[in-house]
Structure 1
Amino acid sequence: MSTTKTTTLGAIFLAIFIVLVILFLSIPQALTNFDLAIMHHVRGAYPFGKHFLKHLDKIGNGHLYNWLVIIAAIILVIIKRYAEAIWVFVSSMLLSLGAVDILKNYFQRPRPKIHHKGFSFPSGHATSSMIFYGILAIIVFYIIKNQAVRFTVQVVLIALIAVIGLSRVYLGVHYPSDILAGYSLSLAWILFTFPLFKKLQKFFNEPI
């Protein structure tokens, strides 16, 4: 994908995030009413087990997620994929574990469940899962040569992103707009930094 295309797509997803921010700041109650309608549908139409979804949450954020990022980066270094290791590690730590906390504390949107600690907008789980598993879904294209295996891995990673986001809505700890904000912000980051990743590949003389 050319730099122009990635930049354009990145700008589109950033615009989606900005629109959500504007709606939250200008007409928060209307956004919340829209969110609650979607939440009612999700929680009624998809009777997943709460215990399963709570365990799934652990690979979307938190200590286990941090270890998964570190392990993935170490494995990539071991197989001499330095550009990939830098991209996934720096992106995961900088955006999902740093910038999101700053944004949450700035917007201070209460969660749907008042007793659940922390703020809601944007979703840390949605941001983290999209950044980490999204980047992995891209870099397996360069690492796994077997098309069938590569496709299967990518489908699993994309499914993880979707289910983790859905689980946050189902468990009632995030509004759908929180999830969309996290996804759009992460996709914008991935697309904006993709050209830099390609330059790093060339710098390290990695096979493309």
Structure 2
Amino acid sequence: MKKDHFFNKIFLVLSLLILIPAVWLFSNIPETQVSHEAGFLVEKNFWFFLRDNVPPWLGTLLSFLYDLGDKEISGPVVGISLGLFIWKKQWKSVLLMILGSGGALLLVDKVFKPIIGRPRPPYFMGEYGSVPDIAGASFPSGHATGNLVLYLILALLVTQNISRLRWLVFGAVVLFLSGIGLGSLYLGVHWPSDILGGYMLGFIWLTFCLFFVDLLAIFLNIDRNIDRSSPLNRSRK
């Protein structure tokens, strides 16, 4: 399908564009842990700007969006999605969800957070919502990484038969992910660069998964047993 090729190319081009900035960010994060570093001061001032200028009703909304991105919500979403894909025998979608969401979780919690070990910001708010358990390192944001991968996968798959609404669905997902990121900043559980790094990592990882799963399905000869309307399928003439 031409549109599927188009979206794959968009993901690839965007990933290549952010690859070098992402490598730079991940390499320089330890320097921002020192209070006199310019990067640290910018992030600190931005947090205080949010705290001083966000009205209470918006603070409540941001706190709610942050909660929607927690594992108590995203975990069941992954489980239900996998159940539907298995029921419909959409094996590529199953592979993509397992590799994408599972791999993102491992990359954040078992690779980058332990290696970088950035402390959480010391600013927390409770006036407009409860702050979930936030033990552990800060960079990159698991909320940003995991939810970006999960909901972009769902956006790709949900719009497979309603391509006319694809941009609307993707727009809604982008707004939702932006709300989760701003909620993390507003509550003070992450630095701005944690969110940015999480988005970068998630997008690059998702792009890798899209192409890897496509190649793996061909190698394992399972593409004949899946829904031909899947956006991961490509027409072969």
**Percent of aligned pairs with the same residue?**
27
Unaligned 5+ segments in structure 1 are: none
Unaligned 5+ segments in structure 2 are: 125-133, 230-237
2-structure distance, mates of 1:45, 1:134: 30
Q: Report deviation, 1:107.
A: 1.4
2-structure distance, mates of 1:172, 1:141: 34
Q: Report deviation, 1:153.
A: 3.0
Residue range with higher mean Cα deviation, 187-196 or 168-177: 187-196
Q: Report deviation, 1:136.
A: 1.5
Task: Note if 1:154 corresponds to 2:170.
Answer: yes
Matches within 5 A, 1:1-208: 1=5, 6-26=11-31, 28=33, 29-47=37-55, 48-95=57-104, 97-102=105-110, 103-113=112-122, 117-142=135-160, 144-145=161-162, 147-148=164-165, 150-199=166-215, 200=217, 203-205=222-224, 206-208=227-229
Is contact 1:73-1:85 (8 Å) kept? Answer: yes
TM-score with structure 1 setting the length: 0.83
2:159 aligns to what SS in structure 1?
A: helix
TM-score with structure 2 setting the length: 0.74
Is contact 2:123-2:188 (8 Å) kept? Answer: no
Q: Report deviation, 1:50.
A: 4.3
Is contact 2:91-2:222 (8 Å) kept? Answer: no
Is contact 2:30-2:118 (8 Å) kept? Answer: no
- Change in Cα spacing, 1:79 to 1:155, as seen in structure 2 (3 Å) is farther
- Change in Cα spacing, 1:101 to 1:146, as seen in structure 2 (3 Å) is closer
Q: Report deviation, 1:53.
A: 3.4
> Letter of the aligned partner of 2:154 in structure 1?
L
Is contact 1:61-1:124 (8 Å) kept? Answer: no
- Deviation sequence 1:133-188 (CA, Å, 0-9, x none): 1222222232x32623x444333222211110111011111111000000000111
Instruction: Give the paired residue count.
Output: 205
Residue range with higher mean Cα deviation, 64-73 or 182-191: 64-73
Q: Report deviation, 1:130.
A: 0.7
Q: Report deviation, 1:6.
A: 4.8
Q: Larger Rg: 1 or 2? A: 2
Is contact 1:61-1:128 (8 Å) kept? Answer: no
1-structure distance, mates of 2:208, 2:135: 32
Is contact 2:144-2:195 (8 Å) kept? Answer: yes
2:120 aligns to what SS in structure 1?
A: coil
Is contact 1:112-1:174 (8 Å) kept? Answer: yes
2-structure distance, mates of 1:44, 1:35: 14
> Letter of the aligned partner of 1:25 in structure 2?
P
- Deviation sequence 1:40-95 (CA, Å, 0-9, x none): 33333433454443443333232332111111111122233221122022211221
1-structure distance, mates of 2:163, 2:31: 49
- Change in Cα spacing, 1:13 to 1:146, as seen in structure 2 (3 Å) is closer
1-structure distance, mates of 2:60, 2:11: 38
Is contact 1:10-1:188 (8 Å) kept? Answer: yes
> Letter of the aligned partner of 2:152 in structure 1?
G
Q: Report deviation, 1:27.
A: 5.1
